[in-house]
Amino acid sequence: MRTVRIPLGERSYDILIGFDCLGDLGAAMRERGVARDNVALITSPRIGGLYYEAAAAGLRAAGFGHVDRWDLPDGEENKNLENFARAVRWLARFAPDPSIRPVVVALGGGVVGDLGGFAAACFRRGVPYVQAPTTLLAAVDSSVGGKTAVNLPEGKNLVGAFYQPGLVYMDLATLATLDPRQVRSGTAEVIKYGAVDVDLFEFLEANVEALVALDREALMRVVPTCVELKADVVRRDERDEAHVRVCLNFGHTLGHAMEKAAAGRLTHGEAVAVGMVAAADISVRCGLCDAEVTRRLRAVLQSAGLPVRVEGLELEQVLRLMQHDKKFVTGKNRFVLLEGIGRWTEREGVPEDIIRDAALAVLD
Ligand SMILES: NC(=O)c1ccc[n+]([C@@H]2O[C@H](COP(=O)([O-])OP(=O)(O)OC[C@H]3O[C@@H](n4cnc5c(N)ncnc54)[C@H](O)[C@@H]3O)[C@@H](O)[C@H]2O)c1
Ligand SMILES: [Zn+2]
């Protein structure tokens, strides 16, 4: 197994990355002192059905007396306050004795991880928890960094906490049961890391098909690298205040707007793929880099089976939604742009006609 350490003083923790290792989760928790008597495992019907037994058997073998599970129904729309309330009330029934503190394990994708982590942050003002991601997106992005949240009808991720896990434990063999579309979506985030890391990008240029096919060597090259890139950003900007995490937003400004405008037709990763092409094009139009950058980015996305343009969205609506994005400061727009592959910069006040032309070029 590979280990990546997140150095955050007393909140430091390890990220373990391997294959066919779910049964050793309990032992890994014991070794790292992320152990209480009881394990409250939060998962979903689908993921729990596939992987709960293997995880629970290992937890029991490692001496955890009481192991039980609660299922969050699948789907982004279920990452809400109502289910958060159900989760913490289940925790209260699971661990009624205040002298016995449970450890929460979130086994699933970003939806389970975000809600499970937030439940752990709030139950009895915080109990230890473990992220066990089972999607590529969760492995390279949401399980690392300690952001937890649920959505409100008023907007996504509006209620949450920065709360670091005690351990992140990845069994990448679990990715094999993912819908291929989910794998491609997670690959869009991997390519995003590549846009800010030239070695990773060059690896993807040669191997992205293998990655999408879940080739083990490719996964072991890529996942630890992405985790390290995110860890480095989190280390320098744990609470998203120092404006360092911003590089992880490459492709997300127009991407979010297109994701919303598409109203469920595009996954997050697909929207980010198109958003990255537009952001690269804006970089070229601003004179920051040459068109070769966009060409290379488009080629990698296409090899991954991701879209590089999207049909049926209306330009004006996309631009309007973009202005409501949190990355827009009032009046001035703000974009993460590229000076070349692996060299990002942030620009404010990009001329509106440039944004318009770049957006139009990816909408047809
Ligand atoms: N906290 C953060 O820093 C952060 C960062 C990025 C995204 N997010 C959040 O992550 C969420 C998206 O996460 P996601 O893309 O993992 O989606 P998801 O959690 O909804 O999972 C996608 C689908 O795959 C299924 N699934 C998961 N693992 C599986 C497996 N191994 N085998 C078969 N099916 C499996 C799930 O049941 C679900 O239907 C969003 O809510 C987003 O806001 C959080
Ligand atoms: Zn994203």
Task: Give the per-residue pLDDT at 266.
Answer: 97
DSSP code, position 180: H
Q: What is the pLDDT of residue 140?
A: 98
CB atoms within 10 A of CB 23: 17
The answer on pLDDT for 329 being more than 60 is: no
Active-site annotation holds for 192: no
Q: Which helix (H) or strand (E) segment is 317 a member of? A: helix 315-323
Domain co-membership, 144 together with 190: no
| Same-domain check for residues 25 and 122 | yes
Say yes or no: CB of residue 177 within 6 Å of ligand 1.
yes
H or E element at residue 42: strand 38-43
Q: Report CA(113)–ligand 1 centroid distance (Å).
A: 8
The confidence score (pLDDT) of residue 243 equals 80
Instruction: Choose one of 117, 144, 177: the last residue of a domain.
Output: 177
For 63-67, 117-121, 296-300, which range has the lowest pLDDT when averaged over its residues? Answer: 63-67
In this structure, are 344 and 306 located in the same domain? yes
146 & 206 share domain:
no
| pLDDT given at position 110 | 98
Cα-based angle 186, 191, 195 (whole degrees, multiple of 5):
150
* Mean pLDDT taken over the chain: 95
Residues 30 and 56 grouped into a single domain: yes
Q: Which residues touch 174 (CB under 8 Å, ≥6 apart)?
A: 22, 50, 51, 134
Residue 44: nearest ligand to its CA? 1
Atom of ligand 1 nearest to the CA of 44: 37
CATH number at residue 316: 1.20.1090.10
Residue 10 has pLDDT above 70, yes or no: yes
For residues 242 and 329, which has the higher predicted lDDT (pLDDT)?
A: 242
Closest-lying ligand 1 atom to the alpha carbon of residue 117: 1
For residue 364, what pLDDT is reported? 80
At 41, which CATH number? 3.40.50.1970
Same domain, 187 and 199: yes
Domain with 59 in it: 2-177
Considering the domain architecture, whether residues 211 and 170 belong to the same structural domain is answered as no
Question: Where among 159, 177, 195 does a domain terminate?
Answer: 177
Looking at the CA of 47, which ligand is closest? 1
Both 272 and 316 in one domain: the answer is yes
104 and 190 housed in the same domain: no
pLDDT in tens, 178-217: 999 999 999 999 999 999 999 999 999 999 999 999 999 9
Nearest protein CA to atom 10 of ligand 1, as residue? 110
What integer is the mean pLDDT of 270-277? Answer: 98
What is the predicted pLDDT for the residue at 35?
79
> Do 170 and 193 reside in the same domain of the chain?
no
Pocket test for ligand 1, best of 46, 114, 135, 326 (most atoms within 8 A of CB): 135
- Of 35 and 346, the structure prediction assigns the larger pLDDT to 346
The tens digit of pLDDT for each residue in 32-55 reads 999 778 999 999 999 999 999 999
Span 158-165, average pLDDT: 98
Q: What is the number of the ligand closest to the CA of 186?
A: 1
Q: What is the pLDDT of residue 36?
A: 79
For position 101, what pLDDT does the model report? 85
Task: State yes or no: pLDDT of 327 exceeds 60.
Answer: no
**Host H or E run for residue 253:** helix 252-262
Ligand 1 within 6 A of CB of 178:
yes
Task: Determine which one of 230, 260, 285, 298 is catalytic.
Answer: 230
State pLDDT tens for residues 123-136.
999 999 999 999 99
For 85-116, the pLDDT digits (tens) are: 999 999 999 999 988 889 999 999 999 999 99
- Structural domain count of the chain: 2
Residues 26 and 77 in one domain: yes
221 shares a domain with 137: no
Q: What residue owns the CA closest to ligand 1's atom 33? A: 178
Percent with pLDDT over 70 in the chain: 98
